[in-house]
Every structure is written in C-alpha cells, then in structure tokens.
Amino acid sequence: MEIEIILYLCFFAFLAGFIDSIVGGGGLIQLPALLVFLPGLPLPVAFGTGKFAGIAGTTAAMVRYVRTVKINYLAILPAAGAAFVFSFLGARALAHIDASLMKPLILVLLVLVAVYTFIKKDFGSLHAPKLTEQKERLYGLLVGASIGFYDGFFGPGTGSFLIFIFIGLFGFNFLAASAASKVVNVATNLSALLYFAYKGFVLYEVAIPMAVCSIIGSQLGTRTALNRGVGFVRVLFLVVVSGIILKFAYDTYGSGGSDFAQLATAVQQWFGRKG
C-alpha cells in the first residue's frame, strides 16, 4: 500500500469526520474516496473499512457532545437500541429490494428538508422539547427503527435526516439535535461494522490511520460547532444538505460519475450470494 494513497485517504477521512461531527454527511466524502483511490477494492471491504473509520470519528464526536450538551437519554437510548437492530435488518434487506427505487423519494425528501429549513429562519434556534416522556420514548423507538433500517439499507444523508427529525419532531435545537444524532449514528454504524468485521471485510492497514484522522476531524468539528453555536450549524446543515441534493440529482438524472444506486445494486448482489 503506497503511503501517498493512505495520506490522501487520511485527508478525506479528516474532512469527513469534521463535516459529519457537525451535520452528518461524512459518508458521502469517505466512501467515494475509498473507491477512487483504491479502485480494485471489493465493495464490501470498502464499506467495512469506511465504517471502521467513520464510527471512530462519530464516537469521538458523541463523547465530546455528551460532555457539553444536555442529551435527552429518555428518547435517545431507545432510538439507538432500535437503530442498532434495524440497521442490520436493513442491510439484509438489500438482497431482496432494489435500493435504486428509493433515490427519487429520498431526493424529494431532502429538497423539502432544505426548503423548510431555509424558509423557517428560527428552525432549530431554540431548544424547546415539545413531547411528553411517553411520546419521546415511543417516537424515539420509531425514529431509531426507521432511520436505522434506512442507514443499513441505503445510508446517504442519515445524519442530516436525524438532525432534521430531532428538531422538527422533538423540538431540539441544532446543537442538541447534532448530539442526539451522533448517539443514534454510533448504534447504526456499530451494527454494520460488527457484521463486516466478522466477515473479514475491514482493511485495517487503511482503516486504522483513517480512523485516527477521522477522530481528529471530528474533535475539531465538534469544537467548532460548540464555539460557533446554533447559527453556524444551521448554515452548514443547509450547505451539506444542498450538496447531498445535487449528488442525488446528478446520480438520478445525470450521466457518468459515481452512483450510489450502482453501489447499492452491487451490495445487493453480494448479499444475495452470501445470504
């Protein structure tokens, strides 16, 4: 393995950790980087290696948020537990469902998320939980199950969807929503990583240095978010969601470039052989 390639991958892992720690979307940076710089890498190994690096940064961000931001564990822990289980089920569903069919729907949802956040200027500016304890637990389970299944099945934009839901449904502000999303994201990533690691689909000589850089990026990202406040996170959220929209639109209606539908189809075929 050439040191130059590892350095490039470490840079993108750092960048992914930085962005993901604030508003999610790190997977849209890290996975394509692995496929570009290691073109002969089997797809399951690319996913496993990316998950190893990604969960390191997400966990580091979660720890820092937990120490600084008050997290409503009554709602978040049930969500994380459900997400852990349904992330694995979502991965297994790849063998039976065409993931490319989801792309137009996800594109529409992302556009609605961006438009609503842009128009509603006070969205996520105040932390004002609006659910009863019973509803928080129930909605936490439902959110964890649905987002966990989506992350295991398809994945792109999971962190951004979580932040939007925790703001719109639970009444969190952007910082509290970012912190909560990290707890759930760690659960979904851990579920997938355990499977990939068990099957031997983690390239550790690449994953370990990438994980270190992801941690550094996530630490810088969470520090930036905490210091700059809700307004900064809101702007970055809109930027990242807009980038995801452009990516989805190009993959769906454009030509050329890397396509998450093609990635999902390849994973479907692989799970079909292994299942």
- CA dihedral 211→216→23→181, nearest 10 degrees, is 60
Over pLDDT 90: what percentage of the chain?
A: 28
pTM for the complete prediction?
Answer: 0.78
pLDDT (tens digit, 9 = 90+) per residue, 92-140?
Answer: 765 566 656 666 777 777 788 878 778 877 766 667 777 788 888 999 9
Q: Flag residues of the chain having pLDDT under 70.
A: 1, 93-103, 123-126, 154-156, 251-252, 254-275
Residue 170 DSSP code: T
At 257 the pLDDT is: 45
At 250 the pLDDT is: 76
Closest of 246, 273, 233, 260 to residue 46, by C-alpha: 260
At 144 the pLDDT is: 93
User: Cβ-count burial of 62 within 10 angstroms (0-12 exposed, 13-18 middle, 19+ buried)?
Assistant: buried
At 258 the pLDDT is: 47
Q: Cα separation of 20 and 214, whole Å?
A: 9
Query: What is the three-state SS of 180-212?
Result: HHHHHHHHHHHHHHHHHHHCCCCCHHHHHHHHH
At 263 the pLDDT is: 54
At 256 the pLDDT is: 47
At 103 the pLDDT is: 67
